[in-house]
Amino acid sequence: MTRILVTGASGLLGLNLALSASERHTVTGVDRCKLSGVPFDLICANLLDRGTVDRVLDTARPDWLIHCAALANLEACEADPDLARRLNADLPGGLAAACARRGVKMVHISTDSVFDGTKEEPYTEADAPSPVGMYPVTKLEGEQNVLAADPKAAVARVNFFGWSLGGKRSISEFFFNNLSAGKRCNGFTDVWFCPIFVGDLADTLLRMLEKGLSGLYHATGSDALTKYEFGVRLARRFGFDETLIDPISVGQSELTARRSPILRLSVHKLSTALGMEIPGVSTGLDRFYTQFQQGYPQKIRSYAQGESTQVNK
Ligand SMILES: NC(=O)c1ccc[n+]([C@@H]2O[C@H](COP(=O)([O-])OP(=O)(O)OC[C@H]3O[C@@H](n4cnc5c(N)ncnc54)[C@H](OP(=O)(O)O)[C@@H]3O)[C@@H](O)[C@H]2O)c1
């Protein structure tokens, strides 16, 4: 069985990915002692601590690394630019160099928001990035550091939704939590994105590794919609009252870090390389709903807390 190391294993992507991958592979997740009872091995470590990257890789001895750990909150990146740079730019470069030395195949997770969102047509991998704000700037630096340190690595620019450990991490949980409680909430009518269901993204990332892909790929969903439309589609899938969603402009919201308004990304390159269609929102929302019916949100939250093997203090 292939040995896979997943960083950010308590995060929205990392946890869903590690759970899914552990059905077919031997998985080790890196967390900060937040998880317990998961069906994969855990290493508790702060990846920014000196010597930790080498120690984690030598403990897990993976064939593949999927690097999901990041400072992914835009406002937190603006508040602490130094931490954002260390986590989002320096750490991925260090991991890529360490993987290259050991012959470990790495996929690094980046973001659709390396673009400023002013282009009407879908962005391709050939388009020059135009990041605005500390989060996208440092994520772009991370992409560049990874590919410079290890040209065999792959970088996946993503945007996804799903169920999370804390129950509040994703846009789908934002709408679910409000609408299921009968509460009004806002949906932006002027912010476009191409979200992919996190389970579909996990499948896609594993296929990228199986195929041995290298270089830069857009791994978002295959169709674009506004965040308001996403909320309405989710409401209809769950049978919630969609009129509880107030259509507003992002400029009317309390969010302070600037968001790119139109993030339509082409997935043609990835689709061609994998020889498959990249899933869209409809099938993704179906899978998100099916997980709800199967009690997956409760299951995933039951992994919160507890102890794991501490390899680094
Ligand atoms: N969510 C989206 O739609 C989206 C969109 C575009 C790109 N992305 C990218 O996708 C990736 C995963 O995002 P996500 O939404 O899953 O993020 P998330 O839920 O915020 O998870 C981030 C993970 O990184 C871990 N981490 C942070 N600092 C660490 C450190 N010093 N040492 C070890 N682990 C550390 C966190 O651990 P703790 O739980 O202990 O804090 C957490 O497990 C990131 O690269 C992000 O930039 C996400």
pLDDT over threshold 60, residue 136: yes
Cβ(54)–Cβ(105) below 8 Å: no
Residue 281: the pLDDT is 98
pLDDT digits (tens, 9 = 90+) for 46-79: 999 999 999 999 999 999 999 999 999 999 999 9
pLDDT over threshold 60, residue 306: no
DSSP state of 88: I
Ligand 1: which of 57, 91, 158, 305 to mutate, most ligand atoms within 8 Å of CB? 158
Burial of residue 307 (CB within 10 Å: 0-12, 13-18, 19+) is: exposed
Looking at the CA of residue 14, tell me the nearest atom of ligand 1.
Answer: 16
pTM for this entry: 0.96
- SS3 of residue 290 by DSSP: helix
Q: Is the CB of 42 inside a 6 Å radius of any atom of ligand 1?
A: no
Residue 257: the pLDDT is 64
Of all residues in the chain, the percent with pLDDT exceeding 70 is 95
Ligand 1: which of 28, 68, 85, 88 to mutate, most ligand atoms within 8 Å of CB? 68
Nearest to 274 by CA among 181, 210, 226, 220: 210
Looking at the CA of residue 109, tell me the nearest atom of ligand 1.
Answer: 45
Residue 145: the pLDDT is 98
pLDDT over threshold 70, residue 307: no
Q: Structural domains in the chain?
A: 3-310 (3.40.50.720)
DSSP-derived pairing of the beta strands 105-111 and 154-158: parallel
Average pLDDT over residues 255-268: 83
Looking at the CA of residue 71, tell me the nearest atom of ligand 1.
Answer: 27
Residue 194: the pLDDT is 97
Q: Is the CB of 158 inside a 6 Å radius of any atom of ligand 1?
A: yes
pLDDT digits (tens, 9 = 90+) for 28-49: 999 999 999 999 999 999 999 9
Residue 54: the pLDDT is 98
Average pLDDT over residues 120-125: 94
